[in-house]
Structure 1
């Protein structure tokens, strides 16, 4: 099978495109013919040498996939040959990735793709969708209908998922964007109030809409400004962090605890299969109902996986501003 893989970590050009043996499913696994895969920042961190866990060699990059079950291994119970599925959490914790024509996946990490949803759409909602669902759920933000949420960067991969899911829950959504185009996109996703962080005083604008502050804050940027965040927080505001692994920002301890705020950090790949299945089934349902729409910024053929990694890295780490939405890769 054709695959995008690397033997040693390093810059995007370490990724090779070539032939690898087609894997065979073992107990509880299925072989998926990949229709589409999606790229996430964590994929670039791993490729660049982030020492999270030991990688198999050669290592196929990629966390997300959507496709059709080609064969099933012994002991499988959920799916049959020919069913369309999507999933995430591959290429993580030492598992092989998804940038290949075929991928072996434990069936516990897969969810049904609705008939009216494309593989590209399902893949583009995978890791980002599960991340948003976990962060908004009872163990973190515990967002409720009728509450207010501020999402920092509502047009990004995770941010766009949070905006849409928060609206599906019944919350009032405030978010930011850096261009008129991205602001328009946020409105189309369902945001109630969008502020241009380059031309507006966001703190004043948020408090103009919510004088007592917001109930939930979702932070997507790598270096949070906690003075700003606490200033827009309501009493007992829940703040969610899911980026900035190396960040060491100043923290306004007094204002934070006087407002009785709480801070929640998480990484999606530490969720159990059972926890992620709750997310996956909701996401499948919302996709089928049209309540969740992926934002695809660029589609690459599998042979150009290195260029896809370069584009993601330029925007994640260097603020290039040349990407709105997810990168999808097609075998």
Structure 2
């Protein structure tokens, strides 16, 4: 095996200007690392933001993008246990402080970011997990017991994180409310299992929630600045508002209402989550998959040669999930 086909960028900028597909020497796994033959690479907003220079600077030499993916273990470095050559796996945060992301035929990744893929799960689903699924599980408290028997509001229920948040919460035994901006997205949220779907462009969200299901115990929030007034209007005492996305607009926090509810705003940035919390959300993810509780959003696939188009689709807000096939 002499070379590997990979997408790279050597500097940050617009996708069409900086992304290129090249051949690289096949990377060898070092101690604690695993080489994975990638079958599908998932594209997330964090991927295009890094490439655009919004969250990081120019890479040292080059960067293979994309954090998430699925494939088979191809080689194992010294000291790695619990994985075997040929085993089907899914990956998360592959490109975090690592040159070899999943937009390539092979990726070399720290072993703790390579997770066995259950037999009943497809490679497509495996490539969709990663950042969105783990973020969703973390926002829900990291454990099914955190939301069992509770009411959960998922803002943006048709997005990748929102989709998995609905499915995790339903798997745990929660009542789930989702907000969406269109009927098409409403159908996706209902398909994921939401008990109540509210179109925020057409309905009074807080009034509909309070009249239909009462107050909510946890909010999985994609747009705090836009939704904080709705959140504070519907939260129950001791509720948690878990925020996983940043906006250009700074939120105005209604301190009195939050204090009166003894509520908490929690932020979810997966790059800084502890190993213990990662272990919990990965365990929940695989248990939910094995139970058949997780599914993929509608998928649009691109070839590796079209990686720039794939990233642009996500940058423009594609509905569903975008995958790249090496």
Same fold judged by TM-score > 0.5?
Answer: yes
Structure 1 partner of 2:73: 69
Task: Describe how 1:82-161 pairs up with structure 2 within 5 A.
Answer: 82-137=86-141, 143-161=146-164
What's the C-alpha RMSD, in Å, of the aligned pairs?
Answer: 1.9
Shift of 1:134: 1.4
- 3-state SS of 1:224 partner: helix
CA–CA distance in structure 1, aligned partners of residues 55 and 187 of structure 2: 39
Task: Give 1:223 shift.
Answer: 3.5
SS in structure 1 at match of 2:226: coil
User: What is the match of residue 264 of structure 2?
Assistant: 262
Shift of 1:142: 7.2
Q: Any conservation in 2 of the 1:56–1:96 contact (CA below 8 Å)?
A: no
> Counterpart of 1:319?
none
Report the equivalent of 1:314.
316
Gaps of 5+ in 2: none
For residues 257-304 of structure 1, the C-alpha deviation after alignment (integer angstroms, 9 at most, x for no partner) is 112111111211212344323322322232232111111331111111
CA contact (8 A) 2:142 2:281 kept: no
- Report the Cα offset of residue 199 of structure 1: 1.5
Matched, 1:326 2:321: yes
Q: Distance in 2 between matches of 1:227 and 1:273?
A: 34
Structure 1 residues 142 and 135, CA gap change in structure 2 (3 angstroms): farther
Give the aligned partner of residue 32 of structure 1. Answer: 36
Structure 2 partner of 1:22? 26
1:227 aligns with 2:229: yes
TM superposition shift of 1:18: 1.7
Structure 1 counterpart SS, 2:170: helix
Distance in 2 separating the partners of 1:222 and 1:58: 34
Shift of 1:51: 4.4
- Structure 1: any 5+ residue segments left out of the alignment? 316-322
Q: Distance in 2 between matches of 1:29 and 1:93?
A: 13
Structure 1 residues 245 and 182, CA gap change in structure 2 (3 angstroms): closer
Distance 1:109 1:94 in 2: 11
3-state SS of 2:6 partner: strand
Which residue does the alignment assign to 2:207? 204
Q: CA deviation at 1:222?
A: 6.3
Structure 2 SS opposite 1:207: helix
SS at match of 1:19: strand
Q: Distance in 1 between matches of 2:19 and 2:281?
A: 31
| Aligned-pair CA distance for 1:171 | 0.6
Number of matched pairs: 322
The TM-score, its normalising length taken from structure 1, stands at 0.92
- 8 Å contact 2:155–2:162 — kept in the other structure? yes
* 1:223/1:248 contact within 8 Å kept: yes
Q: In structure 1, what is the Cα distance between the partners aligned to 2:224 and 2:207?
A: 22
Distance in 1 of aligned mates of 2:307 and 2:225: 28
- TM-superposed CA distance for 1:180, in Å, is 1.9
Closer/same/farther in 2, CA of residues 24 and 296 from structure 1, 3 Å limit: farther
Q: Is the 8 A contact 1:63 1:90 kept in 2?
A: yes
- SS of the aligned residue for 1:167 comes to helix
Whether the 8 Å CA contact 2:41–2:68 is kept in 1: the answer is yes
Shift of 1:114: 1.4
Query: Given that residues 78 and 107 in structure 1 are in contact (C-alpha distance below 8 angstroms), is that contact kept between their aligned partners in structure 2?
Result: no
**Secondary structure of the equivalent of 1:205?**
helix
Deviations along 1:123-146, whole A, 9 cap, x unmatched? Answer: 11221111111121259x973311
Query: TM-score, with normalisation over the residues of structure 2?
Result: 0.93
Q: 1:99 to 1:143 in 2, by over 3 A?
A: same
Equivalent residue, structure 1, for 2:178: 175
**Counterpart Cα distance in 2 of 1:127 and 1:296:** 17
